[in-house]
Amino acid sequence: MTSRIAAYFQFQRYGTDMKREVIAGLTTFLTMAYIIIVNPAILENAGIPRGPSTTATIIAAVFGTVLMAFFANRPFAIAPYMSENAFIAFVVVKVMGYSWQTALTAVFFAGILFTLLTLFKVRSWLAESIPLSLKCAFATGIGLFLTFIGLNETGIVVLGVPGAPVKLGDLSQPSVLLAVCGLLLTVVLISRKVLGAMMIGIVATTLASIALKVTPLPHSFVSLPPDISPILFQLDFAGALSPGFFPIILTIFIMAFLDTVGTLLGLSMRADLLDEKGNLPEIEKPMLADALATVAAPLLGTTTTGAYIESAAGIEEGGRTGFTALVTAFFFLLALFFAPLFTVVPAHAFGIALIVIGSFMISPLAKIDFDDFTEQIPAFLTVVLMIFTYNIGVGMTAGFIAYPLMKGATGRIKEMKGGMWVLALLSLSYFIFGAK
């Protein structure tokens, strides 16, 4: 059985093994298990009941991640996107007044559009038009973005305080002290090349947190999944086909398209999956996996899905194939029945892995030609705006717009591929309609 799995997922080709892939898959799951709680909590603001939404979130993650495993053979986990769920709940439903059924129909149409553009290889053409400097910036920006999130989740850094955008957290708090100790343990284990270092750090911090009564144990570890039927197949095609609704469909499409392209390229660069031209071979496969998952998600009752940047945690543990994704999907499936157990991992524990990931993902900066300002400035804007706007999409779109502007201003338009003009126009549309 093991040899068959190794052959199917091409372990030898990617220089990995079963143990490494299993640890990587579990690590990815532990860093993104928060979505089981957070996504339903956000969508509840749109009127989607939390219980059924929890089931829908898990099933959508399992479906998309299994597709990524078997169809694309990539170590990327798929789940509902955080930025898109907030856009649906707080803008489309609460501000614009549409029902959640109509809003999810927009997601469905965006997924259909994703699928068609992927099948006709338009998405891969656009991805291959992106210059190496921006691909390096995506990887670095995503890594530092994860570090920023991790610092906030652990309480080491506090956001949104009066008088300053960020400040040092209260280091006397038990949760912060546990996070610091867990972080030190993790980096020491990584330095000693211990397999599963990040997973050990997360689990050790969680156990210490429970033992010191910083994190309460759930009342039970087993629970039946809530009934999904109240939100299953509840699309409102009549409402979504009104002429004034098209900009919403376009906005959801642009937001998810840009997020997906940047995430896939950034993760692939860190996993050393890009070819000598900086492209991801057979990129249509992971793109089709996330497109089909986005078509299925609104039918289940949840929002746009895509590859999760937290997959970087599994990649850093050595995950290189779809078996990593399959292991992650397996743990999501278990979460249908053991949700209280998996959600006991506190933010100050999984935040440790997010901090560490950033240190690994800054290395692509070395590939950027900093003597060429037409390459340096767009890359710089991409990285800093990802972090300081707390929005990956804003950083990417700024880079897509700045790149042709810099090339045009210096008379070097011919160095650009045609797809960059399309990406620049999409990015302008993103700022007009979707940057929130």
- pLDDT (tens digit per residue) in 190-240: 999 898 888 899 999 999 999 999 999 888 888 889 999 999 999 999 988
Structural domain boundaries of the chain? Answer: 2-434
Q: Cβ distance 205 to 349 under 8 Å?
A: yes
Burial class (CB in 10 A: 0-12, 13-18, 19+), 371: exposed
Residue 240 is predicted with a pLDDT of 85
Coil vs helix vs strand at 276: coil
- pLDDT (tens digit per residue) in 99-142: 999 999 999 999 999 999 999 999 899 989 999 999 999 989 98
Query: What is the per-residue burial (b if ≥16 Cβ within 10 Å, else e) of 145-177?
Result: bbbbbbbbbbbbbeeeeeeeeeeebeeeeebbb
- pLDDT (tens digit per residue) in 312-346: 999 999 999 999 999 999 999 999 998 777 778 88
- pLDDT (tens digit per residue) in 266-295: 999 989 998 888 889 999 999 999 999 999
User: In which band, very low, low, confident or very high, does the pLDDT at 254 lie, cut at 50, 70 and 90?
Assistant: confident
Residue in the structure block whose two tokens are 């998405």: 123
What mean pLDDT, rounded, does the chain reach?
91
Give me Rg for the CA atoms of the chain: 21
Coil vs helix vs strand at 57: helix
Q: What angle do CA 152, 401, 89 make, to 5 degrees?
A: 50
Find the DSSP H helices in 343-418: 347-360, 373-388, 392-409
pTM: 0.87
- Distance separating alpha carbons of residues 241 and 220, to the nearest angstrom: 45
Residue in the structure block whose two tokens are 């300053």: 164
Q: Which of 51-55, 75-79, 178-182, 341-345 has the lowest mean pLDDT?
A: 341-345
DSSP 8-state code for residue 218: P
CA-closest candidate to residue 271, choices 131, 81, 77, 127: 77
Q: Cβ distance 296 to 110 under 8 Å?
A: no
